[in-house]
């Protein structure tokens, strides 16, 4: 039985105005604000961070951002930095999401710089990795994931590594309704934990949470979360409504 506390993070992507985000956050706070069995993070769009931070104040729900720039400040039009997020009480930041990699050209070296910057500024990075359908069909899943993990985490010190969260999100399972089987997911999660062991030592690897993401829903969550190396979920669609997100928290608490 793992000693890692389960973590459920909602990635709201480009959904919800600040007002709509507050409504959802209020519903979550009312239901789980003091439920300590599972760590809970919500990641609204930048425009809702401040108002959601106020709504979450006093609850155990943590606030995450969906991206950030590696530099603390400067001439980077349209970007947001770690100190800016910290000033809004953000504790987590999703980095290298496949949508950022595919649609905005984010590379492993860029993810690496952001990861190092997040850790330097006491933000917990949720570093996303995962293969495309073509890569899975070519039997290169593990090779792809290995490169993303090794390049993305280059230079992370052993002392900081336990603050990392890794999210395994097979690209073909994101927003498609196609979920990885629990065996497929567990295989990759165990592989990632092995890699983390080589990078940071086994005891450190045992402390790092590895989340599954990709069409995770209340119906398929119990089986995924029962796997030895699946420590929670990074939830897209099912995090946009209180009912389904709360059901996922309940599934994690029961696993």
Q: Enumerate the active-site residues.
A: 97, 169
237: contact with ligand 13P by CB under 6 A: yes
The whole-angstrom separation of Cα 42 and Cα 62 is 6
3-state SS class at 165: strand
List the structure tokens of 36: 């300590």
249: contact with ligand 13P by CB under 6 A: no
Q: Would you say 71 or 223 has its CB closer to ligand 13P?
A: 223
Helix then strand then coil, in percent of the chain rounded to 5, is 45, 15, 35
170: contact with ligand 13P by CB under 6 A: no
Q: Would you say 125 or 237 has its CB closer to ligand 13P?
A: 237
214: contact with ligand 13P by CB under 6 A: yes
216: contact with ligand 13P by CB under 6 A: yes
175: contact with ligand 13P by CB under 6 A: yes
CB 229 within 8 A of CB 145: no
Q: Would you say 29 or 129 has its CB closer to ligand 13P?
A: 129
67: contact with ligand 13P by CB under 6 A: no
Helix spans in the chain (H): 18-32, 46-56, 82-86, 98-104, 108-120, 133-137, 141-152, 158-161, 182-200, 202-207, 221-225, 242-254
In 3D space, the residue among 116, 117, 44 whose CA is nearest the CA of residue 82 turns out to be 117
Distance in Å, CB of 174 to ligand 13P, minimum: 4
Q: Would you say 135 or 169 has its CB closer to ligand 13P?
A: 169
> Would you tell me which residues interact with ligand 13P (CB under 6 A)?
11, 97, 169, 174-175, 213-216, 234-238
């Amino acid at each position: 039985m793992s000693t890692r506390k389960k973590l459920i993070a909602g990635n709201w992507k480009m959904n919800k105005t600040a007002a709509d985000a507050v409504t959802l956050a209020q519903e979550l706070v009312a239901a789980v604000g003091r439920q300590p069995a599972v760590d809970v993070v919500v990641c609204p769009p930048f425009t809702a961070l401040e108002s959601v931070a106020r709504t979450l104040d006093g609850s155990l729900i943590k606030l995450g951002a969906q991206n950030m720039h590696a530099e603390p400040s400067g001439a980077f039009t349209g970007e947001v930095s770690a100190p800016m997020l910290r000033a809004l009480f953000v504790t987590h930041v999703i980095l290298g999401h496949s949508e950022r990699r595919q649609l905005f050209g984010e590379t492993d070296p860029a993810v690496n710089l952001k990861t190092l910057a997040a850790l330097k500024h006491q933000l917990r990075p949720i570093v996303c990795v995962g293969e495309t359908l073509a890569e899975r069909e070519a039997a290169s899943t593990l090779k792809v994931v290995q490169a993303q993990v090794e390049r993305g985490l280059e230079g992370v010190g052993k002392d900081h590594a336990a603050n990392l969260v890794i999210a395994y999100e097979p690209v073909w399972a994101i927003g498609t309704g196609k979920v990885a089987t629990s065996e497929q997911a567990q295989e990759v999660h165990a592989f990632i934990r092995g890699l983390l062991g080589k990078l940071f030592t086994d005891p450190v690897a045992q402390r790092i949470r590895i989340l599954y993401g990709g069409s995770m829903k209340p119906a398929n969550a119990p089986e995924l979360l029962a796997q030895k190396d699946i420590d929670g979920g990074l939830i897209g669609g099912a995090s946009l409504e209180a009912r389904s997100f709360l059901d996922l928290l309940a599934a994690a608490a029961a696993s």
